[in-house]
Amino acid sequence: MEIPIIDIFAGPGGLGEGFCAFRNPETGEKEFKIALSIEKEFHAHQTLTLRSFFRQFSVENIPGDYYDFVRGNLSMEELFEKWPKQAEKAQNEAWKAQLGEDENAVPNNIVNKRIKGALKGAKDWLLIGGPPCQAYSVVGRVRRQEKMLDERKDERVGLYKQYLRILAVHNPAVFVMENVRGLLSAQTKASRVFSNIMSDLTNPVEAYLSENGSNGIHLECPGYKIYSLVAKPERFIDGNPVYNPQDFLIFSENHGVPQTRHRVILLGIRKDFDICPGTLPFEDEISAGSVLYGLPRLRSGLSKVNDEGKNWKKAISHILNNKIIKGIDDDVKRKIQIQLNNMTIPRKGTGLEFVSDKKANVNYRSDWYLDENLGGVCNHSSRSHMESDLLRYFFVSCFGKVKKRSPKLEDFPAALLPDHKNVQAGINDRKFADRFRVQLWNKPCKTITSHISKDGHYYIHPDPTQCRSFTVREAARIQTFPDNYYFCGSRTAQFTQVGNAVPPLLANKIAEIVHEVFNKIKITNKKLLFVR
């Protein structure tokens, strides 16, 4: 019997994908199944629904029509018309709904009804998800010049209370809650947000009723013990594990994910189960090049002029202009000349929503990433860039090859410095001094965030001869989405989804720990039945 999952604030489904892909190491059987996923954003919900449709089939029996859709030969409507039963299940599983208290939110009683109906009487189930995190983001708070968060002005600060409400009302056996590292330092005027959240999650009924009043509602929940997934408790107080807050921070690069993504992830186990979970094993770092390898070469588009390959190549060659080249380090100069001499126009041009390529490959976990039925790469089209940015990209990627790091603004020749009023402050004060950042072949990528939807300056491809920022598929590979995971919507919407997601491969490894917890829950339940 598969363990039901309720996934809230699901985004495009990265956390759920990792759990659903987990298989029992002894039997090879799937152990988790999404009963209901909830997401409010239109395109993320489309992606979520499509992936739910994909999972209605066994891996060995994915219909050819799905691949025809990915290749652009079928619309989603036509795909669902061909497989109505599976489409109906997917549409019931992925619910487009807004949680919270504002006027657009679905009333709590309707949410309760959907959750109860989806669980079909199951008692031991899993709640997963992460409240929208922009309000807690350290970078976001710096940009907004916020030291204190205000729940009255930003309702996202209190959205975790929906998570809390579901715990109080529905009592899942286990929960996994994810958020940004800024959660650890976020504060309201009254107190630190993280300490409040930990206290509330430990006793969700008391916390929920103290804020909302009982209104005649009687709720019972034993409460939860909150565990780290990477550290053992320092001690226990009244049966509750005690940690340093930093112990809840997961460094993804230590666990088989090719990026330095650092996120707070909490594992809650209901207190009526006396279970102490395992922790994630540490692994060697995986380089960005390991997963970027094997994707079709592309060039960037060229803004404001005739976008042809020869014009693109000619525009990049302008880096040899004396005004530019004289301000560049000699070693980097030589690399620039070598790369220009070796540059050929990529056969696949600027790419497409589906790039046909039977030779697409990967150098890491091919069993996870590749699908031999795909016949190419989806969501793999490049952005267009102004000539001035192309020159910066080419310089930055050549610099990275020579210096084995991404340059700071102080390393740029004066002629390539961006025309921003705060550039000098960036050089002097080192604030956002790496606004143009190349990712390195032999290192994990920096964190893929939703900001990638704005521009590609932080995500410059390490190959100078492609001279561009990442495509959606490259960002998705860094985030460990399988190649057959299709993202719906415009390229901007796709980037946002990828940047907001939990890496599915990390979630898959967390699923192994959670599966062991549920095995112990089964043993506990059998003992209780025997006693009765």
- 194 burial type by CB count under 10 A (0-12 exposed, 13-18 middle, 19+ buried): buried
* Rounded average pLDDT over 448-466: 94
Tell me how far apart the alpha carbons of residues 208 and 217 are, in angstroms, rounded to a whole number.
11
H or E element, residue 15 = helix 14-21
Q: Any idea which of 28-32, 170-174, 206-210, 448-452 has the lowest mean pLDDT?
A: 206-210
The answer, yes or no, to whether residue 282 has pLDDT greater than 80, is yes
- Mean pLDDT, residues 144-170: 65
DSSP state of 504: H
Cα–Cα distance between 176 and 276 in angstroms, integer?
Answer: 15
Q: What is the pLDDT of residues 188-223, one digit of tens each?
A: 555 577 888 899 999 999 988 877 666 667 788 999
- 16 neighbors 481 (Cβ within 8 angstroms): no
Radius of gyration of the chain (CA): 25
Residue 441 token pair: 């072949």
Query: What is the pLDDT averaged over residues 115-120?
Result: 97
Cα-based angle 135, 488, 297 (whole degrees, multiple of 5): 100
pLDDT at residue 215, as a whole number: 63
Give the pLDDT of residue 430. Answer: 55
Residue with the larger pLDDT of the pair 459 and 189 = 459
Give the pLDDT confidence score for residue 211 in this predicted structure. 72
CA distances to 174, 176, 264, 519, 520 from 524, rounded to whole Å, are: 14, 21, 29, 9, 6
Q: Write down the mean pLDDT value for the chain.
A: 90
**Treating both helix axes as pointing N-terminal to C-terminal, what angle do 193-202 and 160-170 enclose, rounded to 10 degrees?**
10
> From CA 382, how far away is CA 389, in angstroms rounded?
14
360-377: b (≥16 Cβ within 10 Å) or e: bebebbeebbbeeebebb
Contact 301, 349 (CB under 8 A): no
Q: What number is the average pLDDT over the span 289-318?
A: 95
**Structural tokens at position 426:** 């960036």
Enumerate domains of the chain plus CATH numbers.
3-286+503-531 (3.40.50.150), 288-500 (no CATH)
At 220 the pLDDT is: 87
Tell me what pLDDT residue 109 has. Answer: 94
> 328-365, pLDDT tens digit by residue?
999 999 999 999 999 999 999 999 999 999 999 999 99
318 near 325, Cβ under 8 Å? no
Question: How crowded is residue 84: how many other Cβ atoms within 10 Å of its Cβ?
Answer: 9
**SS3 at position 381:** strand
pLDDT given at position 142: 38
For residue 285, pLDDT beyond 50: yes
pLDDT for the residue 135: 46
Q: Quick one: which of 181, 176, 199, 202 has its CA closest to 249?
A: 181
Q: With CA atoms as reference, report the closest residue to 343 among 309, 303, 307.
A: 309
Query: Using 50, 70 and 90 to split pLDDT, how confident is the model at 146?
Result: very low
pLDDT of residue 180: 85
DSSP 200-215: HHHSHHHHHHHHH--T
One-letter amino acid of 111: V
The predicted pLDDT at position 419 comes to: 74
Task: Quote the pLDDT of residue 154.
Answer: 43
pLDDT surpasses 70 at 99:
yes
Residue 481 has which token pair?
């989405």
What is the reported pLDDT for 149? Answer: 41
Looking at the predicted structure, is the pLDDT value of residue 141 above 50? no
Interval 421-437: pLDDT, tens: 555 555 555 555 578 99
Place of tokens 């690069």: 253
pLDDT band for position 140 (cuts 50, 70, 90): very low
User: Are residues 16 and 10 in contact, defined by beta-carbon separation less than 8 angstroms?
Assistant: yes
Q: Are 346 and 300 in contact (CB under 8 A)?
A: no
Averaged pLDDT, 97-105: 90
**One-letter amino acid for residue 430 of the chain:** R
Res 125 pLDDT > 80: yes
